[in-house]
């Protein structure tokens, strides 16, 4: 059956392209006011219902039709559509700009936004955010954060109070591939996770793939968070920014040569530590604590067919205690150089060279004779080639390959000159090559049925130089083998089929199904309850097998009341192989035999997600509900019995409401409820030489109390014209001061040492914040 579909699919690709007298309409779709490329804008043809194409990540589209007279309709959600009648008797280049509305456009404009995209699109399990759309949602410390907004959508769970780490459909934090302009970001959080590294002022498009992940992506088992930066205003110079209690942001955009190139530079810095200067305490005065982000991007149209982009991100956290007696800094740097080339009007090529780096450094010098520092990091060089081919209206084919060189620097211990105690030490760096080749096609079978299928072959090769250990089942080294430069230590590879399909029931509803397999070759080691900068990435190796995820999903999608309401329900089942956990007391920092501290097992997750969104009117917002379980089985943990993963939250509800009270006033509110995390608590106690010791009987057998919280916000637009805008935003995090447990610990009752009690620590009660945002 599958074979038959595949063959007929292949035939249709070539049959269509062999038809005589066809011509191609191609070009770019852009935003009218800023010149930004629109991703996923669609072109349809009035005379041929069901025929259409969507613009790719660079705003490029291509549609091939028989010669004739047509009315082209360009649409993009949230924009006014654009119609134009054409006579197709030769290949045609059509660059189109769409406006948000209220602006005069010369040609005919009809109000018919692309509102049923969620129904008609073949892709499923996708959460898309428009950074602009989320502006009004209240957030902690007044810092807008796309990751925290994503946590309010189905299937995505926060890693904890105020934390920007997230779990997707029961997967781990390290199973999310986070791409910023195609560059992987290895540690996506600042300040122990309270802020994500993404400054939303510089972002254009945020898409999270939870399932049915296209073959063009790979490398992480659970999800892909694809973040694209703005290109910069092509029309005129503009400045925007914000001043908040914690940080300030400033973004500058401008054309380089009008309509040909532009750039954007966006910076953010926190200044909580500046308040320390006013402290009377000398130690506090001499301490620093801040982070900053810098995003920059430039693009230039070299010729009609060639365009280059250069983008980069650089961010760092810096903590210095008492004149750097203890200093700690960490951060990511990424760079992407891209070249778009139009080979012909049907074939679009993009070549990217990508660099990504994460490192941390920690230094301690309380005593002159014991000054030392520890550094660790990971570095990537990646070369990527992608083609988009638009052979005919029913098929959009993408194919490509990439090669990646990883360098892992697990740790270096450097000692100061005056240090007489410590011995410098470097755990040897490790190298690995990762590669992939893929092809995928989005194909319309008929008006109702469309399929999206692809195949990816991924490979990973751990290479020398290095002394590679083998371990026994207890984690003791059994042998060490030396490898030469580039000598293969261990090769892994595998086929990853991807498939999704849509069946359109009627104009307002559809069902979709998907399957994907993904191999994950990198693993994050972290054994603390929070995300810390010292978490380290390790490669798959002789001792560590790649993680493999298989996921199936089924969904029903329905819009109501003239696309006013969007609704879906999706169910998923995910199987996870070769998951990683740690031996008791595992030491992950500066440990040359760290693989011996790991234990391996399997897991699975399943659940259902329900989403209802109101898109229009004075009141907008959504309700998201996820019912999910995620369980693990490790021979070495919990006596081999199945146990829930920490993120096994059974119920997870988020309600988001934005109410336009008056033209200048917007009220907003967010309510979150979820089942408490699974946790290990004692089921008994005993005494060991004066120390009161808890006795544990099972892993994650208990639960934290349920979590719930209400946030409120109000935005007052002081001034708004076509170009200038300024507003004040006041938000209150945790408005009813719910004391949600961040940690639960156990201790002796102070005046009765024989008695124990459970103590919860709640991080934040009510946190009000205010910020001022501007644009001109």
Residues 588-617 within binding reach of another protein (CB under 8 A): 589-590
Among 6, 14, 486, 686, binds another protein (CB under 8 A): 686
Q: Are 22 and 51 in contact (CB under 8 A)?
A: no
User: Left if phi > 0, otherwise alpha if psi is -120 to 50, otherwise beta: which for 68?
Assistant: left
**Among 421, 480, 488, 639, interactor with another protein by CB under 8 A:** 421
Q: Which two tokens stand for residue 501?
A: 């399909």
**Which residue, 67 or 737, is less far from another protein as judged by CB?**
737
Residue 87 near another protein by CB under 8 A: no
Cα 334 from Cα 328, distance rounded (Å): 21
Query: Should residue 192 be labelled a site residue for another protein when binding is judged by CB under 8 A?
Result: yes
Among 258, 448, 641, 765, binds another protein (CB under 8 A): 765
476 lies in the site for another protein, by CB under 8 A: no
CA 205 to CA 198: how far, in whole Å? 12
Residue 682 as a binder of another protein (CB under 8 A): the answer is yes
- Radius of gyration from C-alpha coordinates of the chain: 27
| Least Å from the CB of residue 186 to another protein | 18
Q: What SS3 state is found at 273?
A: helix
Q: Whole-number minimum distance, CB 421 to another protein, in Å?
A: 4
Which residue stretch of 113-121, 360-368, 452-460, 556-564 sits at the interface with another protein (rule: CB under 8 A)? 360-368
Give yes or no for residue 763 binding another protein (CB under 8 A). yes
Do 565 and 613 contact (CB within 8 A), yes or no? yes
Considering only residues 232 to 251 of the shown chain, the ones binding another protein according to CB under 8 A are none
Query: Which parts of 623-642 interact with another protein (CB under 8 A)?
Result: 637
Residue pair 150/122 in contact by the 8 Å Cβ criterion: no
Q: Which is nearer to another protein, 602 or 725 (CB)?
A: 602
375 near another protein (CB under 8 A): no
**CB nearer to another protein: pick between 62 and 534:** 534
Q: Using an 8 Å Cβ cutoff, are 349 and 320 in contact?
A: no
Which residue, 72, 75, 71, is CA-closest to 112? 75
Residue whose CB is less far from another protein, 428 or 530: 530
Q: Which of 300, 314, 326, 483 forms a contact with another protein (CB under 8 A)?
A: 326
**Closest to 45 in 3D by CA, of 89, 84, 97, 100:** 84
Residue 728 beta carbon to another protein: minimum distance, rounded to whole angstroms: 24
Cβ closer to another protein: 214 or 327? 327
Choose, by CB under 8 A, the member of 690, 721, 722, 751 that binds another protein.
690
Residue 192 beta carbon to another protein: minimum distance, rounded to whole angstroms: 6
Q: Can you tell me the distance from the alpha carbon of 610 to that of 622, in angstroms, rounded to the nearest whole number?
A: 10
Q: Is 328 in the site for another protein (CB under 8 A)?
A: yes
DSSP 211-269: SS--TT--S-SSEEEEEEE----SSS-EEEEEEESSEEEEEEEEEEETTTEEEEEEEEE
CB 710 to another protein: min, Å: 18
Tell me how crowded residue 271 is: count the other CB atoms within 10 A of its CB: 14
* Burial call 677-700: b when 16+ CB within 10 Å, e when fewer: bbbbbeeeeeeeeeeeeeeeeebb
Interface residue with another protein among 78, 493, 705, 768 (CB under 8 A) is 705
Q: Is 534 in the site for another protein (CB under 8 A)?
A: yes
Smallest gap from residue 584 Cβ to another protein (A)? 5
Q: Which is nearer to another protein, 482 or 697 (CB)?
A: 697
Residue 120 beta carbon to another protein: minimum distance, rounded to whole angstroms: 43
CB under 8 A: which stretch of 50-58, 76-84, 387-395, 521-529 binds another protein? 521-529
Non-local (6+) Cβ contacts of 463 within 8 A are: 431, 432, 433, 483, 486, 487, 488, 489
**Binding of another protein by 757 (CB under 8 A):** yes
* Residue of 478, 480, 639, 697 that binds another protein (CB under 8 A): 697
Window 258-287: residues binding another protein (CB under 8 A):
272, 281-284
CB 671 within 8 A of CB 701: no
Which range, of 34-42, 100-108, 216-224, 527-535, touches another protein by CB under 8 A?
527-535
Three-class secondary structure of residue 143 per DSSP: coil
Q: Which residue has the tokens 């007391």?
A: 585
Q: How far is CA 511 from CA 123, 133, 493, 506, 736, in A?
A: 11, 27, 33, 10, 40
Contact call for residue 762 and another protein (CB under 8 A): yes
Task: Assess 680 for contact with another protein (CB under 8 A).
Answer: yes
Please select the residue that binds another protein; options are 9, 92, 109, 191, rule is CB under 8 A.
191
Q: Hey, is 594 helix, strand or coil?
A: helix
* The one segment of 44-52, 55-63, 166-174, 680-688 that binds another protein by CB under 8 A: 680-688
Token digits of residue 600: 């391996």
Decide: 156 and 171 in contact? Cβ < 8 Å. no
Whether residue 130 is preceded by a cis peptide bond, meaning omega within 30 degrees of 0, is no
CA distance 159 to 413: 31
- Collect all residues with Cβ–Cβ distance below 8 Å to 63 and sequence separation of at least 6: 24, 25, 26, 43, 45, 51, 52, 53, 390, 393
Residue 298 CB, nearest approach to another protein (Å): 35
Nearer to another protein, 102 or 689 (CB): 689
By beta-carbon proximity to another protein, the closer residue of 190 and 384 is 190
Does 532 sit near another protein (CB under 8 A)? Answer: yes
Number of residues that bind another protein (CB under 8 A): 87
- Per rule CB under 8 A, is residue 764 in the interface with another protein? yes
Among 303, 446, 473, 687, binds another protein (CB under 8 A): 687
Among 111, 304, 479, 585, binds another protein (CB under 8 A): 585
Q: Is 425 one of the binding residues for another protein (CB under 8 A)?
A: yes
Judged by CB under 8 A, the stretch of 18-26, 146-154, 351-359, 368-376 that binds another protein is 368-376
User: Of 142, 286, 101, 282, which is closest to residue 773 (Cα–Cα)?
Assistant: 142
Q: Which is nearer to another protein, 107 or 473 (CB)?
A: 473
Q: Is 473 in the site for another protein (CB under 8 A)?
A: no
């Amino acid at each position: 059956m599958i074979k038959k579909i595949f063959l007929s699919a292949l035939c249709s690709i070539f049959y269509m392209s062999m038809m005589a007298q066809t011509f191609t309409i191609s070009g770019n779709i852009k935003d009218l006011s800023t010149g930004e490329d629109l991703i996923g804008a669609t072109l349809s043809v009035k005379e041929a219902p069901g025929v259409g194409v969507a613009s790719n990540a660079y705003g490029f589209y291509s549609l091939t039709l028989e010669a004739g007279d047509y009315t082209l309709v360009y649409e993009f959600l949230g924009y006014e559509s654009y119609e134009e009648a054409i006579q197709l008797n030769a290949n045609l280049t059509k660059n189109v700009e769409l406006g948000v509305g209220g602006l005069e456009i010369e040609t005919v404009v009809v109000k018919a936004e692309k509102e049923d995209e969620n129904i008609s699109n073949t892709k499923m399990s996708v959460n898309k955010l428009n950074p602009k759309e989320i502006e009004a949602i209240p957030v902690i410390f007044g810092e807008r954060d796309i990751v925290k907004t994503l946590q309010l959508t189905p299937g995505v769970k926060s890693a904890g109070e105020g934390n920007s780490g997230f779990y997707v459909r029961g997967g781990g934090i390290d199973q999310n591939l986070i791409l910023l302009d195609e560059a992987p970001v290895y540690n996506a959080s600042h300040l122990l996770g309270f802020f994500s590294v993404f400054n939303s002022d510089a972002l254009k498009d945020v898409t999270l793939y939870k399932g049915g992940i296209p073959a063009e992506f790979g490398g992480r088992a659970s999800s892909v968070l694809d973040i694209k930066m703005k290109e910069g205003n092509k029309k005129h110079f503009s400045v925007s920014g914000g001043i908040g209690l914690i940080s300030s942001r400033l973004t500058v955009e401008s054309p380089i040569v009008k309509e040909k190139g532009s750039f954007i530079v966006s910076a953010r810095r926190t200044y909580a530590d500046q308040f320390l200067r006013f402290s009377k305490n000398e130690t506090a005065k001499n301490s620093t604590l801040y982070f900053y982000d810098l995003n920059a991007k430039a693009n230039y149209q070299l010729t009609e067919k060639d365009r280059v982009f250069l983008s980069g991100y650089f961010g760092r956290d810096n903590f210095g205690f008492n004149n750097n007696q203890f200093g700690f800094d960490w951060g990511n740097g990424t760079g992407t150089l891209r070249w778009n080339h139009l080979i012909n009007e049907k074939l679009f090529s993009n070549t990217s060279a990508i660099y990504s780096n994460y490192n941390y450094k920690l230094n301690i010098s309380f005593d002159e004779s014991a000054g030392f520092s520890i550094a660790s990091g990971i570095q990537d060089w990646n070369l990527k080639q992608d083609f988009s081919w638009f052979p005919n209206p029913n098929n959009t084919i993408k194919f490509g390959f990439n090669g990646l060189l990883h360098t892992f620097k697990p740790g270096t211990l450097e000692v100061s000159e005056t240090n007489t105690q410590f011995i410098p030490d470097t755990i040897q760096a490790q190298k690995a090559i990762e590669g992939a080749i893929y092809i995928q096609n989005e194909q319309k079978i008929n008006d109702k049925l469309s399929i999206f299928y692809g195949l990816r072959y991924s490979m990973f090769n751990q290479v020398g130089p290095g002394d590679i250990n083998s371990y026994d089942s207890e984690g003791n080294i059994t042998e060490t083998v030396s490898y030469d430069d580039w000598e293969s230590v261990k090769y892994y590879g595998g086929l990853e089929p991807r498939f999704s399909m849509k069946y359109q029931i009627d104009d307002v509803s559809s069902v979709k199904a998907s399957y994907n397999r993904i191999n994950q070759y990198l693993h994050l080691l972290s054994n603390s309850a929070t995300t810390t900068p010292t978490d380290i990435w390790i490669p798959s190796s002789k001792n560590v097998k790649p993680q493999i995820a298989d996921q199936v999903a089924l969904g029903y999608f329905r819009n109501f009341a003239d696309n006013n309401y969007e609704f879906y329900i999706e169910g998923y089942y995910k199987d996870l192989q070769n998951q990683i956990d740690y031996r008791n007391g595992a030491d992950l920092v500066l440990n040359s035999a760290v693989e011996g501290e790991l234990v391996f097992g399997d897991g699975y997750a399943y659940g259902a997600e329900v989403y209802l969104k109101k898109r229009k009117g004075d009141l907008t917002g959504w309700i998201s509900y996820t019912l999910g379980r995620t369980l693990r089985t490790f021979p070495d943990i919990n006596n081999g019995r199945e146990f829930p993963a920490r993120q096994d939250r059974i119920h997870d509800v988020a309600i988001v409401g934005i109410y336009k009270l008056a033209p200048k006033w917007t009220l907003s509110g967010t309510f979150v409820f979820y089942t408490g995390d699974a946790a290990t608590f004692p089921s008994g106690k005993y005494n060991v030489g004066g120390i009161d010791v808890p006795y544990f009987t099972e892993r994650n057998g208990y639960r934290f109390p349920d979590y719930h919280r209400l946030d409120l916000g109000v935005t007052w637009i002081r001034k708004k014209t076509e170009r200038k805008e300024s507003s004040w935003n006041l938000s209150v995090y945790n408005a009813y001061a719910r004391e949600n447990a961040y940690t639960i610990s156990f201790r002796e009752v102070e005046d009765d040492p024989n008695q124990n009690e459970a103590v919860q620590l709640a991080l934040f009660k009510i946190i009000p914040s205010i910020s001022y945002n501007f644009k001109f």
